[in-house]
Amino acid sequence: MARHGTFDFEKVRLKAARVIGPLKPADEHGAAQRDMPFSARRTNAGRYLPEPYLVYFLLVDLLGFNDLGRWEKRAYSIPVDFKGRAYFVEHRKLGLGLFAADPSTQEEDAMEVVRLIQKAVRAARPYFEYLATDAAEGSKLNVTNHSRSLYERFDYLRQLYRAKAHEAEVRCQSIRFPAWELKREADWLGLSAVEAFFSWTEHVFIHVAILGGVCTTGRGVSDLAGADWAEKFKAALDVDEPETKTLYDELIVIRQQLRNHVAHGAFGKDGQAFRFHSSAGAVPLLLPYKRNRQSFRFGSGAELDPTQAFDAIERFETHLWEGRRAAVKLYIQDYELPAILSMSADGTYDRARASDQGMVDFTEDLVAQMDNAANMDW
């Protein structure tokens, strides 16, 4: 096992082994007595260990240390020998730690064990990079899901906009002041809410695409994440379906209006900031969108009206979770579960969402499994 593809595994292994030096695998029948994992106590030094997965990859996968396996409230236990005394590197429910028989007399050596592991983790960085790159090409990945929290941000801003707009309208019908300031603040909130809507959809479209079997590898998800909003939309929904196409066209216009106002410093990327001098006064000039950039025409560009935008947005919200997608709303939006690419690749999601009840049962079973794993209830 000298090489993994173009990666020189043995070179990195030898470097990490030299760095970790005096730290050796412990013999569970010698320095690490069989009952010691249950009596060993946490050292203070263990608080400075690197991330649990880096320690595991270093000691077990790269250097071949023994893992005693899972136990109640324990994900792994790696016995190590330093100066003839046993220690255990363990990932427990309360976090990763270094455990010793008598921390009061072993704390100084325990700190040296941690330093050696820290140095070896730095030496093994090329191996970790190789693992990450290799994993990204396949399907043994979970994709973090923030759909619910992003939606809640959007909905919060939308409600603030409506409250402020209502207050402005009430004051406009009276002599109270200043209604115009309230209207301006409402428009600001409206723009922020529309921005938040597109932020949510940029994210949720990827998860819908994964559960729909469109993206099954890390590379595919990465490519889709880097694509524009329109491509994400098309990966999640079928724009050949008439209602979907109608909503897509409406949202594209809203997105363009938003980008012109917000993403281009309120000038607009098509020349909306120009006004030419004439006997009729200042006349707005507009560079036509996606046409000859040397050609001007009259106009100031379409303004984003939050109320009209929310009308289209809310029709789209309803449409997004209709039909077969209704079965995945619980998974993506309500429980905010990560998308598991291996389940997309092997058809697990497709089978689960064949019926609403099937998806409910699958989702609730997965939640229970994740809760047990988080609690280390093996």
Measured between its terminal Cα atoms, the distance across the chain in Å is 32
The predicted model gives 44-71 an average pLDDT of 95
> What was the pLDDT predicted at 171?
80
Nearest to 205 by CA among 240, 234, 238, 241: 234
Highest mean pLDDT range out of 65-74, 225-234, 346-355, 368-377?
225-234
Backbone phi and psi for residue 234, each to the nearest 5 degrees, phi listed first? -70, -25
> What was the pLDDT predicted at 2?
41
Bigger pLDDT: 352 or 288? 352
Confidence grade of residue 135 (pLDDT, cut at 50, 70, 90): confident
The predicted model gives 347-363 an average pLDDT of 92
**Secondary structure string (H, E, C) spanning the chain:** CCEECCEEHHHHHHHHHHHHCCCEECCCCCCCCCCHHHHCEECCHHHHCCCHHHHHHHHHHHCCCCCCCCECCEEEEEEEEECCEEEEEEEECCEEEEEECCHHHHHHHHHHHHHHHHHHHHHCHHHHHHHHHHHHCCCCCEECCCHHHHHHHHHHHHHHHHHHHHHHHHHHCCCCCCHHHHHHHHHHHHHHHHHHHHHHHHHHHHHHHHHCCCCCCHHHHHHHHHCCHHHHHHHHCCCCCHHHHHHHHHHHHHHHHHHHHHHCCCCCCCCCCCEECCCCCCEEEECCCCCCCCCCEECCCCCCCHHHHHHHHHHHHHHHCCHHHHHHHHHHHHCCCCEEHHHHHCCHHHHHCCCHHHHHHHHHHHHHHHHHHHCCCC
Torsion on CA atoms 9, 15, 21, 24, rounded to nearest 10: 0
Q: Which of 22-26, 38-42, 122-126, 253-257 has the lowest mean pLDDT?
A: 38-42
> What was the pLDDT predicted at 36?
64
The predicted model gives 262-278 an average pLDDT of 54
Q: Residue 264: is its pLDDT beyond 90?
A: no
The predicted model gives 39-63 an average pLDDT of 94
Confidence grade of residue 262 (pLDDT, cut at 50, 70, 90): low
Rounded to 5°, the CA angle 297-302-305 comes to: 170
> Over the stretch 99-116, which tens digit does the pLDDT of each residue have?
999 998 999 999 999 999
Q: What is the average pLDDT value for the chain, to the nearest integer?
A: 86
> What was the pLDDT predicted at 291?
39
pTM of this structure: 0.79
Confidence grade of residue 263 (pLDDT, cut at 50, 70, 90): low
Q: Residue 82: is its pLDDT beyond 90?
A: yes
86 forms beta bridges with 81
The predicted model gives 257-266 an average pLDDT of 62
* Burial label, 160 (beta-carbon count in 10 A; 0-12, 13-18, 19+): middle
Nearest to 82 by CA among 104, 121, 109, 102: 109
> What was the pLDDT predicted at 290?
41
Q: Residue 12: is its pLDDT beyond 50?
A: yes
**Contact criterion met (CB below 8 Å) for 337 and 366:** yes
Confidence grade of residue 275 (pLDDT, cut at 50, 70, 90): low
Which two tokens mark 115?
Answer: 């330093």
Confidence grade of residue 16 (pLDDT, cut at 50, 70, 90): very high
Q: Where are the domains of the chain?
A: 3-136, 142-264+303-374
> What was the pLDDT predicted at 55?
97
Distance (Å, whole) CA 364 – CA 378:
18
The predicted model gives 8-31 an average pLDDT of 86
The predicted model gives 14-32 an average pLDDT of 82
**Contact criterion met (CB below 8 Å) for 86 and 28:** no
> What was the pLDDT predicted at 156?
98
> What was the pLDDT predicted at 276?
64
Q: Residue 332: is its pLDDT beyond 90?
A: yes
Confidence grade of residue 40 (pLDDT, cut at 50, 70, 90): confident
**Contact criterion met (CB below 8 Å) for 302 and 173:** no
Q: Which residue has the tokens 């809410």?
A: 193
Q: Residue 297: is its pLDDT beyond 50?
A: no
Bigger pLDDT: 275 or 295? 275
Q: Which of 42-46, 61-65, 174-178, 212-216 has the lowest mean pLDDT?
A: 174-178
> What was the pLDDT predicted at 93?
87
Q: Residue 241: is its pLDDT beyond 90?
A: yes
